[in-house]
Amino acid sequence: MKPRNKAGLYLHIPFCRSKCPYCDFYSLRVPGDRSPQTEQNRAAREKTDAYLDALCDELETGRRAAAFTDGDRPVISSVYIGGGTPSAVPAEKLAKVLETAFRYYPVENGAEITVEANPSSADAAFFRAMKRAGANRVSLGMQSALDDERRALGRTAGFDGVKRAVSAARDAGFDNLSLDLMLGVPGQTAESLAESVSLCAELAPEHVSAYILQLEEDTPFYARRDRLALPDEDAVCDMYRALVSRLGEYGFAQYEISNFARPGFESRHNTNYWRCGDYLGVGAAAHSFLNGRRFYYPRDIDSFIAGGVPADDGEGGTPEEFVMLALRTARGLRYDDYEAYFGAPADGKYEAAARRLPERYVRFFDGGFSLTVEGFLLSNTVIAGVLCG
Ligand code: SF4
């Protein structure tokens, strides 16, 4: 019998309580339990329920993605429930989605099961329900520990709310918790970032993700970009360097451009992406890479509910993609990883191109090379330099 492939499973929850002004992710607004019973709110809740039912249906039947999976069900090595805001939907219904995944997919013992949550909507009942359903890791959207910066980002909970969410997650039994930080937000300075990092460390997460704010077109931030008190590019680069070093002092090693962890707490789900591993994404706007093919569901909740099928996104897992993803990580491009993946040695052209780049961007070691912190700051350009020679 052919051995089953392993894959990460991503479940997309495209609903948020409110829309953050910098975000261009696909999500619809869903009201909280205490919101007024207006016609609009009722319709949004009904749509949320129908969507979660459709997720369960797809996990059970696999009919939407059947053209890409041939009915195969890979062994699941990690599950990631992301969004959107998973904590914005009713906890017991989200728990049912996770339980359905466990029922219809073989999930490895000890698999990492992450659920994203927002401090403004994740309460003790949410964390308890997700823990009972099998989640063992929480990723909490903090963005900044400073209330002024959080407000500027459209976050409704203050730092007190973040602290409450962290302690509710701990009380529910989560011993693997990640906090998000953002760099380059309006009004941020080197000092305010240092304060945010130190408050973040006081919350004792096992993992930190830190992203540089991008101004995406079609967002309110983009429309008012000239009026936002954004730190300039040089200041943001200095913040990134300082962040890497401060997090290192607190015991969080950088293992990817934007990710830092205490030893043993690197995200296994995301590491699988960076190693060009298979993953199956279920839900509107979710992307997959399975058996060498990429496919994705349209950004359309109604279509997913109605049984809409994913679109083909071509072949994946090329040598260029493997090199590009490996160079995002501190592990870098290791020739034995490459050979294990492709069954053939890496072309020497990658190292030759890397050796032509300025020394401050790349470090070489026996059996491969990786980007330095300076290289991470210019990763798109440096990686293009490696790939295009
Ligand atoms: S909560 Fe997250 S997904 Fe939702 S709008 Fe804000 S940033 Fe975007």
Please state at what angle helix 233-249 crosses helix 190-202, rounded to 10 degrees: 30
Residue among 12, 16, 179 whose CB has most ligand 1 atoms within 8 A, to mutate: 16
Query: Which two structure tokens, joined as six digits, stand for 355?
Result: 């050796």
pLDDT digits (tens, 9 = 90+) for 343-361: 999 999 999 999 999 999 9
Of 174, 78, 158, residue with least CA distance to 126 = 174
Bond preceding residue 84 cis, omega within 30 of 0: yes
Query: Which two structure tokens, joined as six digits, stand for 111?
Result: 């698999």
In the three-class reduction of DSSP (H, G, I as helix; E, B as strand; rest coil), residue 68 is classed as helix
Of 65, 59, 25, 29, residue with least CA distance to 44 = 29
The domain 144-152+163-175+177-264 having CATH identifier 3.30.750.200: the answer here is yes
User: How large a percentage of the chain has pLDDT more than 90?
Assistant: 90
Asked if 76 and 111 touch (Cβ cutoff 8 Å), the reply is yes
Enter the pTM of the model. 0.96
Of 294, 259, 270, residue with least CA distance to 280 = 294
* Mean pLDDT confidence for 69-83: 93
| Cβ neighbours for 36, distance < 8 A, ≥ 6 positions apart | none
Q: Give residue 381's pLDDT band: very low, low, confident or very high (50, 70, 90).
A: very high
What distance in angstroms lies between residue 116's CA and the mean position of ligand 1's atoms? 11
What distance in angstroms lies between residue 158's CA and the mean position of ligand 1's atoms? 16
Looking at residue 4, what is its pLDDT?
Answer: 61
What distance in angstroms lies between residue 62's CA and the mean position of ligand 1's atoms? 28
Please state at what angle helix 91-104 crosses helix 39-61, rounded to 10 degrees: 10
- What is the CB-side half-sphere exposure of residue 218 using CA atoms within 13 A? 3
pLDDT digits (tens, 9 = 90+) for 309-339: 999 999 999 999 999 999 999 999 999 999 9
* Mean pLDDT confidence for 284-297: 96
What distance in angstroms lies between residue 347's CA and the mean position of ligand 1's atoms? 41
Which residue, chain included where needed, has tokens 């039912």? Answer: 53
pLDDT digits (tens, 9 = 90+) for 148-205: 999 999 888 899 999 999 999 999 999 999 999 999 999 999 999 999 999 999 999 9
Looking at residue 156, what is its pLDDT?
Answer: 83
Residue among 19, 151, 156 whose CB has most ligand 1 atoms within 8 A, to mutate: 19
What distance in angstroms lies between residue 83's CA and the mean position of ligand 1's atoms? 8
Determine the Cα–Cα distance for residues 253 and 263; give it in Å rounded to an integer. 7
User: How large a percentage of the chain has pLDDT more than 70?
Assistant: 99
Q: What is the mean pLDDT of the chain?
A: 95
Q: Give residue 209's pLDDT band: very low, low, confident or very high (50, 70, 90).
A: very high
Where does ligand 1 bind, in terms of residues with CB under 6 Å?
Answer: 16, 19-20, 23, 25, 27, 83-85, 118, 141
**151: β partners:** none
- pLDDT higher than threshold 70 for residue 69: yes
Determine the Cα–Cα distance for residues 13 and 281; give it in Å rounded to an integer. 11
**In the chain, where does the domain assigned CATH 3.30.750.200 lie?**
144-152+163-175+177-264
- For ligand 1, atom 6: residue with the closest CA: 20
Closest ligand 1 atom to the C-alpha of 154? 6
pLDDT digits (tens, 9 = 90+) for 15-66: 999 999 999 988 899 888 777 788 888 898 999 999 999 999 999 999 999 9
In the three-class reduction of DSSP (H, G, I as helix; E, B as strand; rest coil), residue 130 is classed as helix
In the three-class reduction of DSSP (H, G, I as helix; E, B as strand; rest coil), residue 224 is classed as coil
**107: β partners:** 76
pLDDT digits (tens, 9 = 90+) for 246-267: 999 999 999 999 999 999 999 9
Looking at residue 1, what is its pLDDT?
Answer: 42
Looking at residue 36, what is its pLDDT?
Answer: 78
